[in-house]
Structure 1
């Protein structure tokens, strides 16, 4: 399996996370404070410079009170829609 920061799937994931943050009214620094990480951590994720693992994704989603399974379902729907 090829890991690519530039894959279509990764771009969809990053866009979804960015939209969640913005729609929640949080700045990168606000989210970083909630996660107890530097603001640069959030910046690197959103810019695609850094990949996140599932545990990190789950912690980020908790900050938005977002259900992990619902998020993953929406992610799969967006990926499948882009393939049509």
Structure 2
């Protein structure tokens, strides 16, 4: 659910994986692996990603809790 939310928010922001990765100082496969679920994202990474793609982390966590 987190991976899908990150991908959806990134696309809604009109950003590519390359752009998000660059903003984080990472390479594109880092983002691809997170969005595909191959790599888990830790809390610090989630907060950093959310800031770049304008994702409300608290709203996401509430959605997960209520699912």
Fold match, TM over 0.5? yes
- Any unmatched runs of 5+ in structure 1? 1-11
Task: Give the CA RMSD over aligned residues.
Answer: 1.3
Aligned length: 67
TM score, norm. by length of structure 2:
0.86
Shift of 1:14: 1.1
How is 1:21-36 mapped onto 2 (pairs within 5 angstroms)? Answer: 21-36=10-25
Shift of 1:74: 2.8
Shift of 1:65: 2.7
State the distance in 2 between where 1:19 and 1:25 align: 10
- In the TM superposition, what whole-angstrom CA distance separates every residue of 1:7-59 from its partner, at most 9, and x where no partner exists? xxxxx111111100111100000100111101110011111111111111010
TM score, norm. by length of structure 1:
0.71
**More moved, 42-51 vs 65-74:** 65-74
TM superposition outliers: structure 1 runs of 4+ over 4 Å: none
* Larger proportion of helix: 2
Aligned pair partner of 1:66 in 55, 58, 61: 55
